[in-house]
Structure 1
Amino acid sequence: MSTASAAGPPDVGRVGTGSDDGRLVGPRVDADGTGRISTDPADGPAHRRRGTAGRLVVPVLLALAATALYGTLSTLQWRSLVAPSWDLGIFSELTKSYAGLSAPIVPIKGDGVNLLGDHFHPILVLLAPVWWVWPSGLALLWTQAALFGLSAIPLARLAMERLGPIAGTAAGLAYVLSFGLQAAQDVQFHEIAFAVPIMAMALTRLLRGRLLAACLWGALLVFCKEDLGLTVVVLGGVVALRDRAGRLLGLGLAMWGAGWFVLSTFVILPALNTAGQYDYTGNLGSVLDVLGPVDKWVTLAMLVLAAGVIGLRSPILALMLPTLAWRFTGTVEFYWTWYWHYNAILMPIALAALLDVAPRTSQWTRAVAIGASAAVTLALGTAMPLARLLEAQTWEVSWRAAPAARAMAAVPDGSVVAAEIPLLAPLVPDHDVQWLHGPNTRVPRCAVFDDYAFSWNGAVPPDAAQWADEHYRVEPGTFTQTFEEGGFRVVCRAG
């Protein structure tokens, strides 16, 4: 018997037995599901090569588009002095410290505050090289945009494999424009930036049956934020239940997540916290608080729609539960809504759940699911951050930009300066920055006032120098005003 005869005809038993990642996926069948090997030229090697190339190129294009859109949104915010919170200033100080090979001390939060005592996010040390190249808060915003874009590559590629090129591209587009990612970029940098692509890598490996790779990626989530240890516990449970061969892997991953959650929350954070405690237990209310107000139900409905509704049938959706549990039992209103950064980590979970179930449904059901995933974002219309890119005024430079630059130039480089939220991040590269209304006891060299800042709540002090003297408890006349323009006032003390 010849070698060819022993192995069988060249196409028999081998056509369609391999996937892009080298696993066996079974024989290729005709669209009618009869199990016959296709003889259609469109199902031949050349067509499959084009399909593979498309599954590589389209996800990368989606990632680049997302990065460009989100980075542009942040650039326009930056030059218009838009700062929804102090987070960008805080993480700029953290990154500057890491870049200087020192502990992440963040004076914006208070004297000697180590940010690893606020939340557990050692993965942010990876930002240090970014600061070496581009020492600016804007660099952090573009880094987050790139990380969000990067997360689309494995998810969109899997979507195209499971749903086909058109439907898969639509699902990938719905993901990169999802409300969770848009809101997170709009409120600027947060540590979940790294968790989003890590979650995407973990879940796509899980759906491909690569359990060890899924567990290794998932294990990294504990270094992004302390509460994600509980998410890793659930991921371990999903791995264990999904495949008998993965039970030990899943159990090990669950133990890893639980261990790091306990260690980070009850040991590391209190040890590095200036008050010797975990700061956020006071934000949790009663379990009964989960039931209201209606904002929580709206957010939940939006997440179900993001998963195409059919995602409810996937155990992967259970990965949302730990995040939703602390958010919905929390007493902070920002936790409850679709806005802010809290839903970003849930977006990869939603799409992965959809992709887990969709191949087992009809083509019509898949189309409706993808439509629901996109519609939940489109329904928000002009409330979506990226919609502002279509408005001419968004591209106009704020009339306050030039006065702000001159106000910052009036502060000596290297000095301690207290400032309002809009100027915290821009001042960080060349100064030791505090928040003007913070708990700091160090007396700054200068203080930069912004009469339009929301922190004044309409009660702007008429005499900035006098306010600084009283606030820092120094002799009257210690601070004198050195600059005033465009609503900015700078007061400094001698020496």
Structure 2
Amino acid sequence: MAKKIKKYKFRTFWENRCAWLIILIFTALFLIFEFVSYYNFRFPVLDLGLYNRHFWGMSNFDFGANPLKGYNLLGDHSHFVLLILIPIYSLFKHPQTLLVIQALAVALSGYPIYLIAKKYFGNKTIASLWLIPYFLYFGFASALDYPFHVSVLAVLPMAWAFYFLLEKKTSPLLISLAFLLLTKEDMPLIVIFFGLYLMFFYRKYLLGSIIVILSAIYFVYITKYFLPNMSQIHYYYSDAGQLGQTWSEAIVNSIKQPLLFFKNLFTPIVKTTSMIYSILPFAGLSLLAPEIFVFISPLWLGRFLNTQEWRWLTLQHYSANQTPILIVAAIIGLYRLSKLFKNKRSKDISVKIAITAMFVATIYVNYQLPGRDLFNLFDKGFYIVNPEVMSAREAIKLIPNNASVGVQSAFPQLTSRDKVYNVPKFIDSGEIWPEYVVLSTTLDFWPFKSAEEVQSFKENLILNRSYQEVFNENGVFVVKRTNVPSPK
């Protein structure tokens, strides 16, 4: 029996070897990009260091406040799925582990996408080619450059959920949706659309209704009660400005004032631009499958009605979790378009032209957007280690693993410890005095606004806060506490 199973698995792998080859290539590219960026100090404490400290705490059975945030991260997002990943992180308690987890989540989500494409086109080569624009989608590149956020992990259960939905496999669909629910607090809204799809297209009214009702209850409980109680602050991701401070207010006011709703959704122009860039890489084919494309509405409404302007942009992780929706809609859209041609040869030509158009559109969009993240892999400068990077590597070696440390944005490498703090926020309060503070005027110096502010802060620590400088090289500094002065 075991031999038959192994033989079946190998045969399945070999039959789909083209897809797996593309998946392996992009896995390697993702990991190279992540690790080169990490070791060259291009990644920020927020959110890589923030999530790493969260994992480090949970792996040590510490579920208290995250010192980098001031409260437990489960009060920021309902990412219960991370609890499942703790055993993996416990083997390697470093930020690099999170980079691997995220890269694998994106890469492995490609296989169900391939299976969906194979279902509709019946051609393994054509189905495999869909993976290239999928992996090159700017949302993934921007997310990997951020470089870690739980919302990106949602693409794996979401992609499988679409596959099982289209294959009408109820049990694995429910398992995928359960994982999707546990990923982040906005995912129940996506799960609701899976329930609606079951009701309207498969006439599974009971199952669909149960999914819709339970997801809605879970969403309300998480956003209205759980997250605010965990963080002790207002759930600010629901702030829709003029439309209301909560989801319920936004819904009511959108119905009462539809013109205001559409104005806030599409303006300023950066919102509309981001929407266009979102659908352009798949040549607009996603619009030809509106019953799938509509799944994106909770993501876009939550993102573009929100008052946080950075969420409107194409940067960071905000465009990653929409990718499975867009490509599944594009696959079905192209399939429908090809059905307009009666001749098989004409169908094949139309499919090849469309896929070529996607390649061109994907490259175009990536070059139009800032960063051109994955394309940096083919730039020699991406691999050059600057003197300040060499100095930073030496500086962090001076910090003992059990020491408390204050860091600015450039040093997520130092977050695998009990006491790690953002500077200058916590130190300026006069309540926390870490043993070491690591600063830089040449690397990412957020939250400082300038190199001069960093220099001034360091001098203040030395003159007024009982610290002495123990490292100063190429704009990278380490100061060590000599004693704890009485707070003023």
1:271 to 229, 250, 262: 229
Q: Matches of residues 41-190 of structure 1 in structure 2 within 5 Å?
A: 55-84=15-44, 86-103=46-63, 105-110=65-70, 113-163=71-121, 164-190=123-149
What do residues 64-94 of structure 1 show as CA deviations (whole Å, max 9, x unaligned)? 2221111110111111100256100001001
- For the pair 1:432 / 2:422, whether they are aligned, the reply is no
Count of aligned pairs between the two proteins: 437
Paired position in structure 1 for 2:325: 349
Cα distance change on mapping 1:101 and 1:85 into 2, 3 Å: closer
Following the alignment from structure 1 to structure 2, what is the Cα–Cα distance between the partners of residues 401 and 204? 44
How far the C-alpha of 1:454 sits from its partner, in A, is: 4.0
Cα distance change on mapping 1:189 and 1:109 into 2, 3 Å: same
Assess if the C-alpha contact under 8 Å between 2:138 and 2:366 holds in 1. Answer: no
Paired position in structure 1 for 2:355: 370
Question: Letter of the aligned partner of 2:192 in structure 1?
Answer: V
1:259 to 206, 210, 217: 217
Paired position in structure 2 for 1:38: none
- For the pair 1:408 / 2:400, whether they are aligned, the reply is no
User: Secondary structure in 1 aligned to 2:447?
Assistant: helix
Q: Matches of residues 398-477 of structure 1 in structure 2 within 5 Å?
A: 398-423=386-411, 425-430=412-417, 432-439=419-426, 441-452=431-442, 453-458=445-450, 459-468=452-461, 476=464
Cα distance change on mapping 1:285 and 1:401 into 2, 3 Å: farther
Following the alignment from structure 1 to structure 2, what is the Cα–Cα distance between the partners of residues 218 and 203? 10
- Greater Cα shift, 330-339 or 375-384: 375-384
Assess if the C-alpha contact under 8 Å between 1:305 and 1:372 holds in 2. Answer: no
Paired position in structure 1 for 2:343: none
Following the alignment from structure 1 to structure 2, what is the Cα–Cα distance between the partners of residues 298 and 369? 23
Paired position in structure 2 for 1:484: 472
**Higher Rg:** 1
- For the pair 1:397 / 2:385, whether they are aligned, the reply is yes
Q: Matches of residues 242-391 of structure 1 in structure 2 within 5 Å?
A: 242-244=201-203, 246-273=204-231, 275-282=232-239, 284-286=241-243, 287=261, 288-314=263-289, 315-362=291-338, 363=347, 364-382=349-367, 383-391=371-379
Following the alignment from structure 2 to structure 1, what is the Cα–Cα distance between the partners of residues 55 and 171? 32
More helix by share: 2
> What percentage of residue pairs aligned between the two structures are identical?
24
Uncovered stretches (5+) of structure 1, i.e. residues with no partner: 1-48, 471-475
Question: Letter of the aligned partner of 1:156 in structure 2?
Answer: Y
Paired position in structure 1 for 2:155: 196
Following the alignment from structure 1 to structure 2, what is the Cα–Cα distance between the partners of residues 180 and 55? 30
What do residues 110-137 of structure 1 show as CA deviations (whole Å, max 9, x unaligned)? 2xx1000111111112332232222211
Following the alignment from structure 2 to structure 1, what is the Cα–Cα distance between the partners of residues 234 and 474? 42
Cα distance change on mapping 1:123 and 1:53 into 2, 3 Å: closer
Paired position in structure 2 for 1:224: 183
Following the alignment from structure 1 to structure 2, what is the Cα–Cα distance between the partners of residues 249 and 368? 40
The TM-score with structure 2 as length reference comes to 0.83
Assess if the C-alpha contact under 8 Å between 1:159 and 1:172 holds in 2. Answer: no
How far the C-alpha of 1:239 sits from its partner, in A, is: 2.0
Following the alignment from structure 1 to structure 2, what is the Cα–Cα distance between the partners of residues 322 and 436? 35
1:494 to 465, 482, 486: 482
The TM-score with structure 1 as length reference comes to 0.82
Q: RMSD over aligned Cα, in angstroms?
A: 2.4
Question: Letter of the aligned partner of 1:57 in structure 2?
Answer: R
Following the alignment from structure 1 to structure 2, what is the Cα–Cα distance between the partners of residues 339 and 161? 33
Assess if the C-alpha contact under 8 Å between 1:299 and 1:338 holds in 2. Answer: yes
Assess if the C-alpha contact under 8 Å between 1:464 and 1:489 holds in 2. Answer: no
Cα distance change on mapping 1:406 and 1:304 into 2, 3 Å: closer
What do residues 272-321 of structure 1 show as CA deviations (whole Å, max 9, x unaligned)? 11x34324344645433212122222222233334443322321111100
